[in-house]
């Protein structure tokens, strides 16, 4: 088992990464200073695969375990579902020393974290992410939220977990499309922070995609380490943390315009990273070769680098409604080279439209 | 205008206290680093009294002001009202640099603060409390929340405002009962922290109750200073902060058992402080004289020191359901002398019942 520490003062915590470590959850929880009551929040599919194992591990360590399931899907990451979960938390008799364990992907982690952050003004929170995306991104760094009909993650908090347990084993039950989409965020870390990691992914593409234990654990650990480093420097997104949104500006707009039912998040981010690379090229920040390296790596991982059938005006429109817009200014994260990005505002709309025309021919 | 600083590192803020200072709100807001958009949250009554003045002051300083009103009353401090307010925040086009101004009493401040804490993971929050209770207690210290049908403030956060503006002027439009109830929390600060303040309140009772400017501003400022000192030491209620709940253990139980429609919060706390004093006496912590000093001061401020018609079993039952219960242990805040309290667990039920029999003859 590999261990990473996220260093946030009083809010520091460990990320444990390994193969077949769910069975140790009871022991891990015993090492935390938490009360006896634990509420697991999961969804029916994940619960059918790993619920029993997790529940057994935790209860055998002497905890009183209750479970609440929420329907699968982004549209259930809502205030209405949160309301049901507060009821479950009350029914389970949780108190301030109790804990919520999120067993699932990003939706489960985000909403369970929002409940943990707000129930009794904050109780213990443990993340057991079961997708690549959740293991390398959403479970680390403390962003928790539910959606508002007018925007994703509009209602949320920064709330750090006490522990993250990423078991590589669970990735074997992911659908291939889900797996690939999650790897978009892994690739992102290479582009924004670590050229060496970019090269590793290029070299070990096959091992990673075939879920070779060593390669996958290295990919997860490196991703988490980069995210931790960024979050340590800027926990509440005052500046640096925004670089984690590389590819997300266009990506989010693409998801919003297609009502979140066409692209997986990672697929939209993949296209968004290509768009960002091309914008950077037009601003003389990236060479043609570096743009090509973006597209090749993304494409090699089975992810899209083009889109079609989406109105460009709608994308431009969605950009201005993004949560990350501040006093009317749209921010882009653009690369100066592979492994280094910066945050820019005031990208001319004409350049954005040129790039949309290049990669999203209508 | 008097100024108090609440020192919480990055989350520090000023409390401005004075007579007729609402008109300066625009200037105060201009001194903060905040965006142009401001959403005022208030209720119809307060809005009819002070809404126009506040809106004018803020918009004349160059801010774009929108307003959202919520119905008056504790039962509207709910997740349903919060949902409406998120819609209003979206409709107002708030972004991460925007601000929410809470103009009202505890209900408005608590729910507006919860919205500010969670909208886009936290936007700027300014408290303009319009009751004694809100000026000396709920607007300071960052406790924000909505109620759950099963318990008050079950859903919330610790979220500090950027500024608190307490204008003594607004207290003149309070109902007398509301005014007195608020003073219960003022008296509380004398009991828990400051014997001199206790003496001041004893001597200047008439001036305070007649809203003499100098006496009231001193009472508000001293109360806020004590609360700030406690919160600075223990922002998230890990220990010391619990002393602010003096009188609240029995007080909350009394409110809950009577469905929150019999006692004002301050009235229940007044009775709760008498109960706490009597429990402390039975544990040889307070003398008979000190118990009498409790009862006299509370009673002199026109607040109840006895209750009737409430089943004691139900009170005992409600005590064990309080949010402050941890792993089954009920905590009491008890005084060792006037001006000094400590936190105790495991008070024998028999003693609690004896005291209930003394002050709440059925």
Name the active-site residue from A37, A55, A124, A143. A143
Pairing mode, strands A124-129 and B124-129: unpaired
Encode pLDDT of A77-130 as tens digits: 999 999 999 999 999 999 999 999 999 999 999 999 999 999 999 999 999 999
pLDDT at B133 exceeding the cut of 90:
yes
Candidate from B83, B97, B327 with C-beta closest to A95 = B327
pLDDT at A293: 97
**Residue B99, Cβ density class (10 Å: 0-12 exposed, 13-18 middle, ≥19 buried):** buried
What are the angstrom distances between the C-alpha of B299 and each of B202, B273, B292, B310, B354? Answer: 11, 12, 10, 20, 21
pLDDT at A260: 83
Mean pLDDT, residues B140-146: 96
pLDDT at B324 exceeding the cut of 70:
no
- Residue with the larger pLDDT of the pair A25 and B256: A25
Rounded to an integer, what distance in angstroms lies between the CA atom of residue B101 and that of residue B127? 6
Residue B155: its chain A contacts at CB < 8 A?
86, 118-119
Going by pLDDT thresholds of 50, 70 and 90, the confidence category of residue B246 is very high
The 10 Å CB-count burial string (b at 16+, else e) for B132-143 is bbbbbbbbbbbb
pLDDT at B307: 97
Mean pLDDT, residues B193-198: 98
Rounded to an integer, what distance in angstroms lies between the CA atom of residue A355 and that of residue A357? 5
pLDDT at B151: 83
Q: Which residues of A have a CB under 8 Å from any CB of B?
A: 35-36, 79, 82-83, 86-87, 90, 95-97, 117-122, 143, 145, 148, 150-151, 153-158, 236-237, 323-327
Residue B326: its chain A contacts at CB < 8 A?
35, 95-97
Encode pLDDT of B263-280 as tens digits: 999 999 999 999 999 999
Strand order across the A37-42 sheet: A2-6, A13-18, A163-167, A124-129, A99-104, A37-42, A64-69
Candidate from A90, A118, A326 with C-beta closest to B95 = A326
Domain boundaries along the sequence of chain A = 2-173, 176-359
Going by pLDDT thresholds of 50, 70 and 90, the confidence category of residue B350 is very high
Going by pLDDT thresholds of 50, 70 and 90, the confidence category of residue B328 is low
Q: Is A281 a catalytic residue?
A: no
Q: Is A245 a catalytic residue?
A: yes
Percent of chain B with pLDDT over 90: 91
pLDDT at B261 exceeding the cut of 90:
no
Q: With beta carbons less than 8 A apart as the criterion, state whether A133 and A181 touch.
A: yes
For the domain B176-359, what is the CATH code?
A: 1.20.1090.10
DSSP track, B215-267: HHHHHHHHHHHHHHHHHHH-TT-SSGGGGGGTTHHHHHHHHHHTTTSSS-HHH
Rounded to an integer, what distance in angstroms lies between the CA atom of residue A57 and that of residue A28? 10
Which residue of A9, A120, A141 to mutate against B (max B Cβ within 10 Å)? A120
pLDDT at B288: 97
Going by pLDDT thresholds of 50, 70 and 90, the confidence category of residue B361 is confident
Mean pLDDT, residues B117-144: 97
**Protein fold of B2-173:** Rossmann fold (3.40.50)
pLDDT at A330: 81
Pairwise CB contact (< 8 Å): A90 & B118:
no
Mean of pLDDT over chain B? 95
């960002």: which residue's tokens? A276
Q: With beta carbons less than 8 A apart as the criterion, state whether B350 and B360 touch.
A: no
Beta strands in A159-293 (DSSP E): 163-167
Q: With beta carbons less than 8 A apart as the criterion, state whether A114 and A143 touch.
A: no
pLDDT at B152: 86
Write phi, then psi, for A234 (nearest 5 degrees).
-155, 80
Which residue of A121, A122, A149, A244 to mutate against B (max B Cβ within 10 Å)? A121
Which portions of chain A are predicted below pLDDT 70?
Answer: 322-328, 362
Encode pLDDT of B8-54 as tens digits: 999 999 999 999 999 999 999 999 989 999 999 999 999 999 999 99
Candidate from A118, A148, A153 with C-beta closest to B155 = A118
């Amino acid at each position: 088992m590999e261990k990473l520490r996220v260093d946030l003062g009083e809010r520091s915590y460990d990320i444990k990464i390994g193969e077949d470590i769910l069975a140790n959850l009871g022991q891990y929880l015993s090492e935390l200073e938490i009360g006896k009551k634990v509420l697991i929040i999961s969804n029916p599919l994940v619960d059918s695969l790993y619920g029993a194992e997790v529940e057994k591990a935790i209860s055998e360590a002497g905890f009183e375990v209750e479970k609440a399931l929420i329907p699968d899907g982004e549209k259930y990451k809502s205030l209405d579902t949160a309301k049901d979960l507060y009821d479950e938390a009350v029914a389970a008799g949780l108190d301030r020393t109790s804990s919520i364990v999120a067993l699932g992907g990003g939706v489960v982690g985000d909403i369970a974290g929002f409940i943990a952050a707000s129930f009794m003004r904050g109780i213990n929170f443990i993340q057991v992410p079961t997708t690549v995306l959740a293991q390398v991104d959403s479970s680390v760094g403390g962003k928790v939220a539910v959606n508002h009909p007018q925007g994703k993650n509009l209602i949320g908090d920064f709330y750090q977990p006490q522990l993250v347990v990423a078991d590589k084993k669970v990735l074997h039950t992911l659908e291939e499309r889900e797996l690939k989409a999650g790897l978009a965020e892994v690739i992102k870390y290479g582009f924004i922070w670590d050229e060496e990691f970019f090269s590793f992914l290029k070299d070990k593409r096959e091992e990673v995609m075939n879920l070779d234990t060593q390669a996958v654990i290295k990919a997860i650990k490196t991703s988490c380490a980069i995210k931790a480093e960024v979050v340590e420097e800027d926990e509440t997104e005052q500046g640096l943390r925004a670089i984690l949104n590389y590819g997300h500006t266009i990506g989010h707009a693409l998801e919003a315009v297609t009502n979140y039912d066409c692209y997986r998040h990672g697929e939209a981010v993949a296209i968004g990273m290509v768009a960002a690379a091309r914008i950077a090229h037009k601003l003389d920040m990236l060479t043609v070769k570096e743009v090509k390296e973006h597209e090749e790596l993304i494409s090699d991982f089975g992810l899209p680098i083009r889109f079609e059938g989406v109105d460009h005006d709608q994308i431009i429109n969605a950009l201005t409604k993004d949560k990350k817009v501040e006093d009317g200014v749209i921010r882009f994260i653009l690369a100066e080279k592979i492994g280094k990005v910066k945050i820019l505002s005031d990208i001319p709309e004409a350049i954005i439209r040129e790039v949309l025309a290049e990669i999203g021919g209508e």
